[in-house]
């Protein structure tokens, strides 16, 4: 397990923009939810032009490992959903809307609240 300092260094590298996409993709399976969230957010721009990365975001939203809560009711999966809306392509928005429809009913209102709190249009 990484120390807090090592985790912060990894997050800083992700956010710095110099980490190769392949390495960021590998971090989608990292044991730390914080690292996974930062990796998801780092994929948004590139996923606008790469269907493979878009599929990675969809898979992350579905991955049970990402049901872990970050704060309150917000989970890593919720952040993955926000990333899909931020990608903004027709395919990404269509995938996100389909996922919302299939989202577990008990968590759907929390997901919608989170997306709206992020000023994302989900209609």
Please report, rounded to a whole number, the percentage of residues in the chain having pLDDT higher than 90. 95
Rg from Cα positions in the chain = 14
Burial of 32 (0-12, 13-18, 19+ CB in 10 A): middle
In order of 10, 90, 110, 111, the CA distances from 70 in angstroms are: 18, 28, 13, 13
pTM (two decimals): 0.94
pLDDT tens for the chain, 123 residues long, are 789 999 999 999 999 998 999 999 999 999 999 999 999 999 999 999 999 999 999 999 999 999 999 999 999 999 999 999 999 999 999 999 999 999 999 999 999 999 999 999 998
pLDDT tens readout for residues 62-87: 999 999 999 999 999 999 999 999 99
- Which tokens sit at 37? 């969230």
């Amino acid at each position: 397990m990484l120390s807090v300092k090592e985790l912060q260094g990894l997050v800083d590298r992700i956010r710095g923009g110099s980490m190769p996409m392949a390495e960021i993709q590998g971090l989608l399976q990292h044991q730390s939810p914080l690292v996974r969230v930062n990796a998801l957010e780092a994929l948004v721009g590139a996923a606008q032009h790469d269907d493979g990365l878009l599929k990675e975001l969809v898979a992350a939203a579905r991955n049970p490992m990402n049901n872990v809560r970050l704060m309150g009711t917000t989970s890593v999966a919720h952040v993955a959903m926000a990333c899909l809306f931020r990608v903004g392509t027709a395919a990404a928005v269509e995938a996100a809307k389909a996922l919302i429809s299939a989202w577990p009913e008990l968590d759907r209102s929390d997901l919608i609240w989170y997306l709206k709190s992020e000023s994302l249009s989900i209609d």
